[in-house]
Amino acid sequence: MAETSDTEDALTLDDEDQSFLLEDMQAGVSEAIIEPPGSLGSTQNPGLSSDSSSTIPFYSSGDPIPEFKWKNNIYRPYIFSDTDYEFGKVNISQEIQSLKPIDIFETVTNIKLLIEELIIPESLRYAHQNGSVFTTDIQEITAFIGMNYVMGYHVLPTIRSYWSTEPDMGVPYIARVMPLSRFEEIRRNLHFCDNASQPSPTSSLFDRAYKIRLVMNHFNSSFQSAMNNTKTQAIDEHMVKFKGHNIMRQYMQNKPIKRGFKMWCRADSSTGYLFQFDLYTGKKNAGPEIGLGESVVLDLTQALVGLGCEIYFDNFFNSPMLQYKLAKQNLKACGTVRTQRKNNPKNLPLDKEMKRGDIYATSFEGISFIKWMDNKAVHLLTNFLSPVPTLKVKRKQAGSAQCLEITCPDIVHKYNKNMGGVDLMDQKKVTYEVDRKSKIKYYLRLFFDLLDIAMNNSYIVYEKLHAQHRIEGHLLSSLEYRQVVARAMIGNFSIRKHALPSTSMTKKRIQNIV
């Protein structure tokens, strides 16, 4: 049980606290201050003194589950191990002298390997199992994907509109590649698994995501191989719009996309580069001491163990036990937290007992719990940030044009700055989405969503390489980059036996109809 004594020790500032202030000044936060004891005004004393001479040792995997005894009078930080890991290094072959967008896209996505070893053989198998005669090759499937990318930024009402002969509707660039009937035939037979080998629902190997699992495995591997993990990342939910019937479909009331598939994602906080993801297929039994949100974070951070990365997530995932486990793995973590979580401190001050700008903090072996009163109470848990540094922030007052200046923990600023990696990925992806117009099978909806993410990831790598002067010329915009890649994928491919009618022929046909 947490202490609630009024006789709390004074707050002292260690080197770590001072470094937070320096970082904020360098970032342009001119109003950042560290409040000395007794100058907090109406703000309650967080009650944690930073004792840098006594730090918590690095946890070993054999340590027992702790009994969380929260204390208000001292903050003792963990010792996190330093590594020589090159955060954010792009792993593109140095032998490639002139990197083109298509080279970067193919390297980041390994799309040729996906087409040759999965899409083509499984699509042919699927057609054969359904009694259909269907053949294809890598050039055609590559062009098919390129066409879908074009349709993402050249938006028309329906898929069929691209083959329209109306002068204000059709897109000859698309129509010359293949007839509409062939495009629909490829999409109808597109498949990524052997249906005959799918485990039964009663099997321990049963996987609701079986039909898309190999594609997800491919992109997870490719995204993590293309670029080293970055120092600061966020874990959050990503929704894939789907209105059809499927047992995995979720309803998320507070999300822009309310109905669809939910993916757990780990992305870079500053660019939105997606490193790892998994499809939510239903709650798994992760053990009595760990919840769904905690298990998601532990699964998505397995590749980060020992690196010392900073991971940010919201209150769906966070808990004291998760902070403890991540610290054991040399991973720094911060996030909002729900007050009813197991092992949270007890006897927190009531909201009505706190004024706007008041701060309450308590800690247990390097894990800090902070309650801050803004318009409403904000609760955070972290295993590496001190609750001591504070900022001055401005808030509007009800019924007044004047702004009120209140004290805010620096941890809130850092959380808001670094939590939006997955949301940033969503913002970039939605601009030129592939296949937003048609009703398709659920696994194709997921496949096209991953194609969008793959394009965004490759563009982020392109930006990094351009900044390193490894790419000549001006920096392409996201749209220009997508156009160049899509056109390169289509190339000169065409299966049309006859040339498309000229514009004059089309005009005569329209005149005859009229």
3-state DSSP of 459-470: HHHHHHHHHCCC
Q: Which residue has the tokens 């598939």?
A: 261
Residue 427: phi and psi, rounded to 5, are -65, -40
Pairing of strands 377-382, 332-336: antiparallel
Q: Do residues 314 and 371 both lie within one domain?
A: yes
Does residue 489 sit within a domain? yes
Does residue 112 sit within a domain? yes
Of 425, 460, 492, which marks where a domain is finished?
425
Pairwise CA distance, residues 335 & 322, whole Å: 11
Q: Residue 21's pLDDT is what?
A: 34
Number of structural domains (the chain) is 2
Q: Do residues 8 and 47 both lie within one domain?
A: yes
Pairwise CA distance, residues 171 & 161, whole Å: 8
Residue 283: phi and psi, rounded to 5, are -65, 135
pTM given for the model: 0.84
Q: Do residues 302 and 385 both lie within one domain?
A: yes
Pairwise CA distance, residues 286 & 138, whole Å: 41
* Helices and strands (H and E) in the chain: how many: 15, 12
Q: Do residues 384 and 498 both lie within one domain?
A: no
Does residue 232 sit within a domain? no
Of 390, 425, 460, which marks where a domain is finished?
425
Does residue 306 sit within a domain? yes
Q: Do residues 373 and 496 both lie within one domain?
A: no
User: Is the Cβ–Cβ distance between 265 and 422 less than 8 Å?
Assistant: yes
Q: Residue 503's pLDDT is what?
A: 47
Does residue 334 sit within a domain? yes
**pLDDT by 10s per residue, the chain, length 514:** 333 333 333 333 333 333 333 334 344 443 333 333 333 333 444 444 444 444 555 444 556 788 999 998 778 888 999 999 999 999 987 656 668 999 999 999 999 999 999 999 999 999 999 999 999 999 999 999 999 999 999 999 999 999 999 989 999 999 999 999 999 999 999 999 999 999 999 999 999 999 999 999 999 999 999 999 999 999 999 999 998 888 999 988 877 888 999 999 999 999 999 999 999 998 765 555 568 999 999 999 999 999 999 999 999 999 999 999 999 999 999 999 999 999 999 989 999 999 999 999 999 999 999 999 998 999 999 999 988 888 899 888 777 778 888 999 999 999 999 999 999 999 999 889 987 666 789 999 999 999 999 999 999 999 999 998 778 789 999 999 999 999 999 999 998 765 555 544 444 433 443 3
Number of residues assigned to the chain: 514
Q: Do residues 298 and 391 both lie within one domain?
A: yes
Does residue 418 sit within a domain? yes
Q: How far is CA 105 from CA 205, 266, 290, 422, in A?
A: 33, 20, 39, 20
Q: Which two tokens stand for residue 494?
A: 């065409």
Q: Which two tokens stand for residue 114?
A: 């996906």
Of 362, 396, 425, which marks where a domain is finished?
425
Q: Do residues 335 and 456 both lie within one domain?
A: no
Q: Do residues 367 and 393 both lie within one domain?
A: yes
Q: Which residues of 257-272 are buried (b: 16+ CB within 10 A; e: fewer)?
A: beebbbbbbbbbbbbb
Q: Do residues 69 and 114 both lie within one domain?
A: no
Q: Do residues 9 and 135 both lie within one domain?
A: no
Does residue 265 sit within a domain? no
Q: Do residues 120 and 80 both lie within one domain?
A: no
Residue 239: phi and psi, rounded to 5, are -100, 135
Q: Which two tokens stand for residue 207?
A: 């996987």
H/E element, 266: strand 259-268
Boundaries of domain holding 387: 1-90+286-425
Pairwise CA distance, residues 273 & 266, whole Å: 9
Q: Residue 289's pLDDT is what?
A: 58
User: Is the Cβ–Cβ distance between 267 and 451 less than 8 Å?
Assistant: no
Does residue 370 sit within a domain? yes
User: Which residue type, as a one-letter code, is found at position 424?
Assistant: L
Q: Residue 510's pLDDT is what?
A: 34
Closest C-alpha to 461, from 17, 197, 13, 103: 103
Q: Do residues 356 and 342 both lie within one domain?
A: yes
